[in-house]
Amino acid sequence: MRVLAIGDVIGKPGRAALKRLLPSLVQDERIDVVVANAENAAGGLGTTAETAEDLLAAGVHVLTGGNHTWKHRDFPGYMERTPRVLRPRNYPTGTPGRGMGVFALPDGQEYAVINLIGRVYMDPGSDNPFLAADAAVAELAGRTRVVLVDMHAEASSEKRAMGWHLDGRVSAVWGSHTHVPTADEEILPGGTGYVTDLGMTGPYASVIGLDPAGSVRKFVTGLPSPYRLAVGNIQVRALLIDVDAESGRATEVRRIALRLSE
């Protein structure tokens, strides 16, 4: 099974890049499963039903979320109706939506996606992501060996710790949220594919997706700056993961970087 994990989709620029570039990438690389983090897909903050449907129509099979999941009031109800759209599993019991899903390829082969959120410098009100991951893996036992994990977190140490914590028990762990791609893609000793952060799908002539001038002004002066998305150098950043469906082990990982022609 060939899996494409796509970094945080940033607003309209990121959605446009996926619409243009994803179909040919899927065809050329013979990709079976596409998972994308969509928590910044609506104007750079949160997700709406409309933007989620936009990404699913572009060829994404499963959408994951993060700390901006609750930005738009209509979205919780949409998640309840849409199994392919996830939010972090380690939010408290009773939170709308699902933190994990089991899905099937056209040939019937099943795979699972787990969405987690970190707590270091991030979301102290969430439950322990490591214990939530343990419970999710236990729940999936005997169902499918192909298990994919999006660890949406600020601290690289917390993301790397999750990779090692789940090594040999899941097929892949990738980090999202910080919007900067890391160069540490690897297969851990137990057979789990890993990267600390996928990067983002959106404008790279930016400060993590935002207009550089406004971001610089804020750091220089300490004063608030308008939240304005950047528009230049739009790229798709992702990790391509080959998984042996019988064992659930990753056999190869490779970073993907595609630029949208302007």
Q: Which amino acid would we find at residue 43?
A: G
Q: What is the mean pLDDT of the chain?
A: 95
Q: What is the pTM of this model?
A: 0.96
Alpha-carbon gap, residue 18 to 106, rounded angstroms: 22
Residue 152: inside a domain: yes
Q: Which domain holds residue 237?
A: 2-203+231-259
- Looking up tokens 């699902």, which residue turns up? 98
Alpha-carbon gap, residue 174 to 192, rounded angstroms: 10
- Report how many domains make up the chain: 1
Residue 96: inside a domain: yes
3-state per-residue secondary structure call for the chain: CEEEEECEECHHHHHHHHHHHHHHHHHHHCCCEEEEECCCCCCCCCCCHHHHHHHHHHCCCEEECCCCCCCCCCHHHHHHHCCCECCCCCCCCCCCCCCEEEEECCCCCEEEEEEEECCCCCCCCCCCHHHHHHHHHHHHCCCCCCEEEEEECCCHHHHHHHHHHHECCECEEEEECCCCCCCCCEECCCCCEEECCCCEEEECCCECCECHHHHHHHHHHCCCCCCCECCCCEEEEEEEEEECCCCCCEEEEEEEEEECCC
Number of other residues whose CB lies within 10 A of the CB of residue 230: 24
Segment 88-96 shows an average pLDDT of 94
Residue 216: inside a domain: no
Residue 31: inside a domain: yes
Active site residue 68: yes
pLDDT tens digit string along 149-186? Answer: 999 999 999 999 999 999 999 999 999 999 999 999 99
Residue 217: inside a domain: no
Residue 144: inside a domain: yes
Residue 208: inside a domain: no
Kindly report the CA angle at 102 between 115 and 177, in degrees rounded to 5?
Answer: 15
Residue 210: inside a domain: no
pLDDT for the residue 249: 98
Distances 175 to 61, 158, 184, 238 between C-alpha atoms, Å: 18, 9, 11, 11
Strand partners for 167: 170
Strand partners for 258: 236
- Looking up tokens 């998972």, which residue turns up? 35
What CATH number is associated with residue 168? 3.60.21.10
Catalytic residue among 61, 68, 72, 177: 68
Whether pLDDT at 123 is above 80: no
pLDDT tens digit string along 179-221? Answer: 999 999 999 999 999 999 999 999 999 999 999 999 999 999 9
